[in-house]
Amino acid sequence: MPPAGWALQATNASYTWKTATVGTPHGGTHFADVEYDPALVPQNEWLLSPVQNMAAGATTLSLWSQGSVYWCKTTYNNCDLEVWLVVGAIGGGDDVLLGLADDAWTASYTWAQSTFDITAQMPRNAAIGFRYVGTDGAQVGLDDVTLDGTLVPVGLQQFTIE
């Protein structure tokens, strides 16, 4: 992890994005996964796609994710899976927060689809950023990222987190 062409920015190297081989992926045989740090160390873990040409007519970003409703969304709200368009380096004033993937979760550790309309964000060349942020949260999974129904490319290959 990360897949070829993707970038990882870890603030907590022991608990950052990795390839999960245990559990049931949404598609394929693996998925991206980030675990929470039980030592209560704050996490700010980024997984970035290769830069996508949004000006080419991209309109919809879709992804599947899972996590704990109890720890990340409702009772404690200790973590979030944010979805971003990242222009240049992370944290620039032109980055766009599309929303939270955890908003789609209705049950813990059940795959849920999130879709984001990115029409208003064009024209832009941007990476798709997935940010796990929180303290004392829970494990989160991510799989099957598509842009207008096509798996997000990794170099010359298509992307299902494998």
DSSP 5-63: T-EEE-SSTTSSEEEE-SS--SSSS-EEEE---TT---EEEEEEPPPEEGGGT--EEEE
What is the per-residue pLDDT for 22?
Answer: 83
Q: pLDDT tens digits, residue range 18-55?
A: 998 788 999 888 899 999 999 999 999 999 998 887 76
Rounded-to-integer distance, Cα 146 and Cα 158, Å: 10
Rounded-to-integer distance, Cα 108 and Cα 102, Å: 10
The highest-level CATH class for domain 7-151 is mainly beta
The larger pLDDT score, comparing residue 24 to residue 152, is at 24
Place of tokens 């000006």: 55
- The reported pTM is 0.90
Q: pLDDT tens digits, residue range 100-123?
A: 999 999 999 999 999 999 887 765
Q: Domain map of the chain by residue range?
A: 7-151
